[in-house]
Amino acid sequence: RAVTGFSGDGRAIWSKNPNYSPVNESQLFLYDTFPKNFFWGVGTGAFQVEGNWKADGRGPSIWDHFTQTHLKNVSSVNSSSDSYIFLEKDLSALDFIGVSFYQFSISWPRLFPDGIAAVANAKGLQYYNSLLDALVLRNIEPIVTLYHWDLPLALQEKYGGWKNEVLIDIFNDYATYCFQTFGDRVKYWITIHNPYLVAWHGYGTGMHAPGEKGNLAAVYAVGHNLIKAHSKVWHNYNINFRPHQKGWLSITLGSHWIEPNRPENTMDVLKCQQSMVSVLGWFANPIHGEGDYPELMKKQLLSILPLFSEAEKEEVRGTADFFAFSFGPNNFKPQSTMAKMGQNVSLHLRDVLNWIKLEYGDPRIFITENGWFTDSHVKTEDTTAIYMMKNFLNQVLQAIRFDEIRVFGYTAWSLLDGFEWQDGYTTRRGLFYVDFNSKQKERKPKSSAHYYKQIIRENGFPLKESTSDVRGEFPCDFSWGVTESVLKVSGYLTQFTDPHLYVWNVTGNRLLHQVGGVKLKTRPGQCTDFVSIKRQVKMLARMKVTYYRFALDWPSVLPTGNLSTVNRQALQYYRCVVSEGLKLNISPMVTLYYPTHTQLGLPTPLLQSGGWLNPSTAKAFQDYAGLCFQELGDLVKLWITINEPNRLSDIYNRTGNDTYRAAHNLLIAHALAWHLYDRQYRQAQRGSVSLSLHSDWAEPANPYAESHWQAAERFLQFEIAWFAEPLFKTGDYPLAMREYIAFKNRQGLSRSTLPQFTEEERRLVKGAADFYALNHFTTRFVMHARQNGSHYDTDRDVQFLQDITCLSSPTRLAVLPWGQRKVLSWIRRNYGDLDVYITANGIDDPALENDELRKYYLEKYIQEARKAYLVDKVKIKGYYAFKLTEEKFKPRFGFFTSDLKAKSSIQFYNKLISNGGFPSENNSPRCSQTQRNTECTVCLFLVQKKPLIFFGCCFFSTLVLLLSITFFHKRKRRKFWK
């Protein structure tokens, strides 16, 4: 019974390292297995699932009485899951999952109707013997809880329940009978399940049976008696039964977890410690700690808290063979369950386990209850329960592997839907669905049962990646790029081009004043006069990319929306951007039109005439595109007409028909521009034209639900195929999209209709793209959700779910690199062997300098692109990281901050580019970048330092001239004197 660890040590858990990397492997989802012979099981509580509360001589419990007097919405617990009469169905459910143990509780009033361990109720005894025999036959270890809250009502009425010390001996007698009768088959015993809730809700808030409230002294007296009752039973087992039964015994202690508002604030950390101590420490300190209540509790509660004598401390201390721990919704809800003390409730199971390790000397831990709940209307598709289980279990695995916490078993709660205490039947917690109103009470496996079965079979989360990381390089002509959004036109530096003379601060207002009548000689404007271009060139040179993707600003080029007014200065600006980049061997990929979810980016006259709802805007776009091809096409070989036209529902969202009409006109606009280029410019300029589609991947949120698989495919049809199908395949919208909208029309759930292509439009659109350009950022988990309304979003009947176990950015972009490979393969499978450019791929990273998340993202996503290229034979021609600079007050996607400070990911991306990908460790890159980068550095130096170089040349020439003259005169003087 030696106990190590010191009360208060757990406070170290809240001391977070401010420099901790978000991609530290100990914090990421862990793909690994649990230790060999890890204990996997499920649990139930007798009162929750047995039913038949009046059958076969069972006596009433305090919960039978409580449901009749306090839970008016619960007609009877007799419905329940009826485990008492459907034992074989429970056993079949256990067989289905493949558990190694089954934790259940014995109903005290079913064995002893009046609570006194005299002659046992024969029918009750027969039921538990049958259950134990069946478990042993199946090689399923029984774990038996003696008391899960269903105290015989007679003991409550006669003695006042757990307020009376007399129950300590009565409980010990009951336990003795159980040890004698069942101990030959039971090696794990739990005395009491979550005594905190028994005391706090049973005698404090009145939310649990027996429903007493308001008397704090009674609350702590009950807790005191529960601890002593447990201690007495432990000693009883230890002395009289352990020597020949060789079993183990503990008490299940439940708790919440809490995080400080300010981790660096000592007072907030102290409040968190107080919160944990007042719940878990209340029972854990006497049993697993020093044999007494925590000092924080004793100081706070003074005379209310009972005292342990020195003999009692010694009696209580160390009376548990392992730390049995409950972490589930009953410890969190309702709010009155725990003392929050103004801090933040958290579901971080790994941190609680670490707290237990520090406070109580690294005990062996058995998680005897864990899980979450769903609403009563949820039947077998309990998708959220899967993700909660995944999250909890992976935290346990991390605690075992990284923190060396000795967790040896896990109990998923619960095997069956049943009675959920104060919530009655309004929530469900079972792995198996039970229709309480049916006669046969069939156990139907939920998605969570399938998931847990898989976890047990695989003993955790083995890495299932079909292709491990591949070494090798992309082709030498691969486009390594960086993407920028719209480049706004900046004015010239006027000291070279403005012919006027200015005087500064004449009136003391610190402004320049033009001197009238004076004209100075100037030189023609040059590209280097643009300050913004100088900055961009400098940044691009640091990036060491071979391509730069940026977007033109349509309203700047054609303010009126037509060719009547052309802003030549804007065109010169963009030409300068391209030409200065080419001097550094950085080729352009130019986007003509780049709308965003907040800004349509159309010239004002076009906006006023209806924007993309007006078909004439397509013709205006063709004219604008033709001008750009004419003015810039000799320098630009890669064109994107429109960026992400499939995201227009953010703006044209009044009705679904508005969204579809706008999209239709955008498709026509793109096709007109493509045909114009193909007809007039391609032969001379030899470029390629496409549009760029937002192409995130979709996974079924619940892989065990067919409706989720259908929803995932439907998402891809509405998101990607909506534009890709007309361009790359049929010249028409996807049949699946048309049919689903028509289906919703028939159901009366939508009045949306997709536009019809005329035969001429089909011919125009089909094949009007030279490559597939995709912007990919994340993978979405989708589920089917029937929705009513005539909108693009509701037409899809799709709902998104966030996987809380995924590494995510501040904008909740999940980092799931394999999704990029899947979408690339999907594109090839559906649209053939196309050239593919990944035209935007990136993540928002809050770091201003050392952006570890972005580096991790780049490495993993480029690795998946490499697999798609090498293994899946996707013809990827280029990768463009998103984006060059971040914008103020917006998510931080940039390699440079808004004030142009470089981040460490630039160097990381440089290395990937110079290596051409992931060359083998022993091989140097095939396509050496050294020479190109050296040339670029020299070019950059020449471009940036022209004035200095000119001055240096002049100075050097003058010096040479002076030295020559001096030398000449010296020689002349010598000749003269001779």
pLDDT tens digit sequence for 194-242: 999 999 999 999 999 999 998 999 999 999 999 999 999 999 999 999 9
660: domain CATH number? 3.20.20.80
pLDDT in tens, 61-79: 999 999 999 987 776 555 7
Query: Which residues have a Cβ under 8 Å from the Cβ of 608 and sit 6 or more positions away?
Result: none
- Residue 293 pLDDT > 50, yes or no? yes
For residues 653 and 364, the model is more confident at 364
Q: Is residue 427 part of a domain?
A: yes
pLDDT of residue 948: 62
CA distance 115 to 120: 10
pLDDT in tens, 915-954: 999 987 766 666 754 444 444 445 445 545 555 666 677 7
Which of 434, 458, 482 is the endpoint of a domain? Answer: 458
CA distance 53 to 59: 7
Confidence band, pLDDT 50/70/90 cuts, at residue 296: very high
> Please, are residues 750 and 793 in contact by the beta-carbon 8 Å criterion?
no
- Residue 29 pLDDT > 90, yes or no? yes
- Residue 157 pLDDT > 90, yes or no? yes
**349, 492: one domain:** no
- Residue 843 pLDDT > 60, yes or no? yes
Tokens of 616: 């004439």
- Residue 4 pLDDT > 60, yes or no? no
Query: Which residues have a Cβ under 8 Å from the Cβ of 609 and sit 6 or more positions away?
Result: 616, 617
- Over residues 180-190, the mean pLDDT reads 98
Q: Is residue 953 part of a domain?
A: no
A 10 A CB-CB count for 511 gives: 11
> Please, are residues 444 and 890 in contact by the beta-carbon 8 Å criterion?
no
**450, 536: one domain:** no
Q: Phi/psi zone of residue 834: left (φ > 0), alpha (ψ -120 to 50 degrees), beta?
A: beta
Q: Phi/psi zone of residue 950: left (φ > 0), alpha (ψ -120 to 50 degrees), beta?
A: alpha
Secondary structure (3-state) at 254: strand
Total domains present in the chain? 2
Tell me 814's DSSP state: B
Q: Is residue 963 part of a domain?
A: no
CA distance 404 to 402: 6
- Quick one: which H or E segment has residue 134? helix 122-137
CA distance 423 to 950: 83
pLDDT of residue 757: 97
pLDDT in tens, 568-624: 999 999 999 999 999 999 999 999 999 988 889 999 999 999 999 999 999 999 999
pLDDT of residue 778: 98
CA distance 744 to 86: 43
A 10 A CB-CB count for 751 gives: 13
- Over residues 290-308, the mean pLDDT reads 94
Which of 918, 938, 964 is the endpoint of a domain? Answer: 918
Which of 918, 938, 959 is the endpoint of a domain? Answer: 918
φ/ψ of 798, rounded to 5, equals: -125, 140
- Over residues 866-882, the mean pLDDT reads 97
- Quick one: which H or E segment has residue 690? strand 688-694
> Please, are residues 711 and 784 in contact by the beta-carbon 8 Å criterion?
yes
CA distance 539 to 541: 5
> Please, are residues 527 and 579 in contact by the beta-carbon 8 Å criterion?
yes
Q: Is residue 964 part of a domain?
A: no
- Residue 855 pLDDT > 60, yes or no? yes
- Residue 5 pLDDT > 50, yes or no? no
In this structure, are strands 323-327 and 365-370 parallel, antiparallel, or unpaired? Answer: parallel
CA distance 217 to 375: 36
> Which residues are paired to 698 by β-bridges?
780
pLDDT of residue 76: 55
**631, 562: one domain:** yes
Q: For the whole prediction, is pTM greater than 0.85?
A: yes
CA distance 620 to 327: 63
Q: Is residue 970 part of a domain?
A: no
CA distance 418 to 63: 14
In this structure, are strands 512-519 and 500-504 parallel, antiparallel, or unpaired? Answer: antiparallel
CA distance 650 to 647: 6
> Please, are residues 858 and 880 in contact by the beta-carbon 8 Å criterion?
no
> Which residues are paired to 784 by β-bridges?
798
CA separation, residue 645 to residues 660, 669, 733, 753, 841 (Å):
11, 11, 14, 18, 17
Range of the domain at 27: 9-458
**393, 523: one domain:** no
pLDDT of residue 970: 73
Q: Among 261-265, 454-458, 520-524, whose mean pLDDT is lowest? A: 520-524
pLDDT in tens, 392-406: 999 999 999 999 999
**661, 796: one domain:** yes
pLDDT in tens, 804-839: 999 999 999 999 999 999 999 999 999 999 999 999
pLDDT of residue 3: 37
Query: Which residues have a Cβ under 8 Å from the Cβ of 541 and sit 6 or more positions away?
Result: 584, 936, 937, 940
Peptide bond into 243 cis (omega under 30): no
- Residue 369 pLDDT > 50, yes or no? yes
pLDDT of residue 18: 64
Confidence band, pLDDT 50/70/90 cuts, at residue 974: low
**492, 372: one domain:** no
> Which residues are paired to 188 by β-bridges?
143, 248
- Residue 538 pLDDT > 60, yes or no? yes
CA distance 236 to 707: 55
C-alpha dihedral sign at 535, 539, 540, 544: positive
**233, 152: one domain:** yes
CA distance 211 to 195: 15
**555, 686: one domain:** yes
Query: Which residues have a Cβ under 8 Å from the Cβ of 648 and sit 6 or more positions away?
Result: 595, 612, 659, 662, 663, 666
- Over residues 440-452, the mean pLDDT reads 98
Confidence band, pLDDT 50/70/90 cuts, at residue 653: confident
Tokens of 535: 């900055």
**651, 521: one domain:** yes
Residue appearing with tokens 């998103």: 882
**531, 397: one domain:** no
Q: How many CA atoms lie within 13 A of 418 on its CB side?
A: 22
C-alpha dihedral sign at 555, 561, 565, 571: positive
Tokens of 378: 């949820």
Q: Which of 955, 701, 737, 729 is nearest to 827 (CA)?
A: 729
pLDDT of residue 926: 66
CA separation, residue 195 to residues 54, 150, 281, 566 (Å):
26, 12, 12, 80
Find how far residue 20's CA is from the centre of its chain.
18
Q: Is residue 950 part of a domain?
A: no
Q: Is residue 770 part of a domain?
A: yes
Query: Which residues have a Cβ under 8 Å from the Cβ of 312 and sit 6 or more positions away?
Result: 228, 291
> Please, are residues 883 and 485 in contact by the beta-carbon 8 Å criterion?
yes
Q: Is residue 431 part of a domain?
A: yes
Query: Which residues have a Cβ under 8 Å from the Cβ of 847 and sit 6 or more positions away?
Result: 853, 854, 892, 903
pLDDT of residue 526: 76
- Over residues 754-777, the mean pLDDT reads 98
Quote the Cα angle for 23-25-26, to 5°.
Answer: 115
**622, 771: one domain:** yes
In this structure, are strands 638-643 and 587-593 parallel, antiparallel, or unpaired? Answer: parallel
**479, 453: one domain:** no
Secondary structure (3-state) at 423: helix
CA distance 195 to 148: 9
- Residue 37 pLDDT > 50, yes or no? yes
pLDDT of residue 930: 43
CA distance 917 to 453: 40
Confidence band, pLDDT 50/70/90 cuts, at residue 962: confident
Q: To the nearest whole number, what is the mean pLDDT of the chain?
A: 92
As a residue count, the chain comes to 978
